Amino acid sequence: MKIPIDVIPERAGHLGVVEIPACDQRTLPGVVSQRACVLYGARWMLAPVRNVIHLIHGPVGCAYYSETVRKKRYRVFSTALDEKDIVFGAGQKLETAIRESLSLRPGSSAVLVYTTCAAGLIGEDVPAICKRVSAALGLPVVPVNCPGFCGVSQGDGHDAAAAALLEHFIGRGPAGPPLENSVNILGEFDVQGDLKEIEQLLQRLGLNLICAVSGRATVENMARAHRARLNIVHCGRTGRWLARKMEERFGIPWRKVSFFGLAEAAAALQAIAAFFNRPREAAWVEKEAEAARQRALPYLRRLAGRRVALFFGASRMGSMARAFGELGMEVVLCGSQFGCREDYAESRRCLGQGTLMIDDAHQRELEEFLHRYRPDLLVGGTREKFMAHKIGIPFLVFPQETSPYAGFNGFVNLAREVAALVGAPVWRLMIPANLVEPPARREGPAGGDSAAVKTVGDGKGGNEDGTNL
């Protein structure tokens, strides 16, 4: 099947309407990618870990870049490498920085040392320094090997962060039998209260949460994580690898689920209840899902038949595509800055053949798609927000910035916010998204405003029913 937008030949394999796109490859040289570096991928996963010091071993710009994660600023420390350190080495400077940071936060349980491109290029032996300082101070000083050049995308930073947690924190507590009715959640970052919604649902099943990696991770609860009866994997990229390793090391079974969308959340709760042999405790699930659907019904009527394009982390694509399908919307694009074959295969099973999937799209490709396909909504990260607005297309940031989207209450929140965005009157003042170029300006008899501007201004730039395109 022909690719529906024009791309350079080297990019053709990264788009597909039948098969899954090529992925896990370096960005084509010269293309301005939407990806982030490996360091930021590690920060994306580790930033929420509480009561530890986060020390960036690199130039101060790397620390500034990585202090804000999901629009939340975290306190980080930096060795602030300069030219002299690059030439002569900065091992002693790193050791001094570790001690100084602990003097500023004396109650910290551990230190995470993130390596950057600069430290990696000069061959700094960060693991040896961390090991020596850890022995002297009597607390974990953990290297996170995440120079920006050591992977193809931020996804490799997720892997480096998961490896550091598994090697130095998870299962470090006393051995013992599994704790009754206990679970871990792997790959859940507690965006705008998602974790609270999920935990309340698990509590209704009579289950206790030991650790959520990394939305509610501490040195203490990660040390007890090996005693959980079940690992619940919520984000495929970060959680699946960690779950497999914990199964090998500690014998903990795992289930990959999603709490986004009514059907997915209900299926997740029923699968978890079946594992714990608690069918009675799960009797309320279907009723709760139907009650949420009724609460969302006024918004669903306004969204039926609308078209949506998705462009965010691949591990959420499949579950969010189903959620938007439950809103009555048609998914016309499903893409990601980065993703593995398992994530894309899951999304393709959900979408079927005929929907465009794209890996590592750059702005020109996204712009052309938006012009040609006129989706009513684009869902993605902050990078794509202003591009969509300039074209005249409503935009929803995901991971979200307002309220939880997980669970049954989260589905109602999603429906309400999408309906408000798509139906906002401001889009009637924009140039319709199906126009590749703005209409030519035509001067009136007295050199006044163009007829095209008048047409847009009087509210006729949308569909026949007055809504925006």
**Is 418 among the domain residues?**
no
pLDDT at residue 449, rounded to an integer: 41
pLDDT at residue 1, rounded to an integer: 57
Closest Cα partner for 47 from 112, 107, 127?
Answer: 112
**Residue 431 pLDDT class (50, 70, 90 cuts):** low
Judgement on whether residues 206 and 252 belong to the same structural domain of the protein: yes
In the listed set 253, 285, 317, which residue is the last one of a domain according to the structure? 285
Tell me the mean pLDDT in the region 86-102: 96
Task: Answer for the pair 221, 210: CB distance below 8 angstroms, yes or no.
Answer: yes
- Domain of 128, CATH number, reads 3.40.50.1980
Could you read off the pLDDT of 203-218 as tens digits, one per residue?
A: 999 999 999 998 999 9
pLDDT at residue 90, rounded to an integer: 95
Most confident of 2-6, 198-202, 238-242: 198-202
Judgement on whether residues 205 and 115 belong to the same structural domain of the protein: no
Judgement on whether residues 111 and 43 belong to the same structural domain of the protein: yes
Judgement on whether residues 187 and 145 belong to the same structural domain of the protein: no
**Is 44 among the domain residues?**
yes
Domain span at 136: 38-151
Token pair belonging to 40 = 């930021």
Give per-residue burial for 329-342: e unless 16+ CB within 10 Å, then b: bebbbbbbbbbbee
pLDDT above 80 (res 316)? yes
What percent of the chain shows pLDDT beyond 90? 71
**Is 451 among the domain residues?**
no
**Is 17 among the domain residues?**
no
pLDDT at residue 432, rounded to an integer: 54
Judgement on whether residues 187 and 257 belong to the same structural domain of the protein: yes
Distances (CA, A) of 406 to 187, 192, 255, 319: 13, 10, 17, 11
In the listed set 262, 285, 308, which residue is the last one of a domain according to the structure? 285
Could you read off the pLDDT of 112-167 as tens digits, one per residue?
A: 999 999 999 998 999 999 999 999 999 999 999 999 999 999 999 999 999 999 99
pLDDT at residue 453, rounded to an integer: 33
pLDDT above 70 (res 407)? yes
- The total of structural domains in the chain comes to 2
pLDDT at residue 383, rounded to an integer: 85
Judgement on whether residues 274 and 201 belong to the same structural domain of the protein: yes
pLDDT at residue 18, rounded to an integer: 85
Give per-residue burial for 26-52: e unless 16+ CB within 10 Å, then b: ebeeebebbbbbbbbbbbbbbbbbeeb
Could you read off the pLDDT of 436-447 as tens digits, one per residue?
A: 444 444 444 444
Give per-residue burial for 134-170: e unless 16+ CB within 10 Å, then b: beeeebbbbbbbbbbebbbbbbbbbbbbbbbbbebbb
Token pair belonging to 222 = 């990660």
pLDDT at residue 236, rounded to an integer: 79
Number of Cβ within 10 Å of residue 282's Cβ equals 18
pLDDT above 60 (res 46)? yes
**Is 217 among the domain residues?**
yes
What percent of the chain shows pLDDT beyond 70? 91
**Is 239 among the domain residues?**
yes
In the listed set 285, 302, 330, which residue is the last one of a domain according to the structure? 285
**Is 292 among the domain residues?**
no
Judgement on whether residues 137 and 98 belong to the same structural domain of the protein: yes
Q: Who contacts 274 (Cβ-Cβ below 8 Å, separation ≥6)?
A: 282
Task: Answer for the pair 15, 21: CB distance below 8 angstroms, yes or no.
Answer: yes
pLDDT above 90 (res 346)? no
pLDDT above 60 (res 434)? no
Judgement on whether residues 99 and 201 belong to the same structural domain of the protein: no
Judgement on whether residues 141 and 42 belong to the same structural domain of the protein: yes
**Is 448 among the domain residues?**
no
pLDDT above 50 (res 411)? yes
pLDDT at residue 96, rounded to an integer: 97
Could you read off the pLDDT of 274-313 as tens digits, one per residue?
A: 999 999 989 999 999 999 999 999 999 999 999 999 999 8
pLDDT above 80 (res 332)? yes
Task: Answer for the pair 408, 265: CB distance below 8 angstroms, yes or no.
Answer: yes
Could you read off the pLDDT of 252-280 as tens digits, one per residue?
A: 999 999 999 999 999 999 999 999 999 99
pLDDT at residue 457, rounded to an integer: 38
**Alpha helices of 89-234 — where are they, by DSSP H?**
91-104, 117-121, 126-137, 154-168, 194-204, 219-223
Judgement on whether residues 119 and 210 belong to the same structural domain of the protein: no
d(CA 451, CA 447): 11
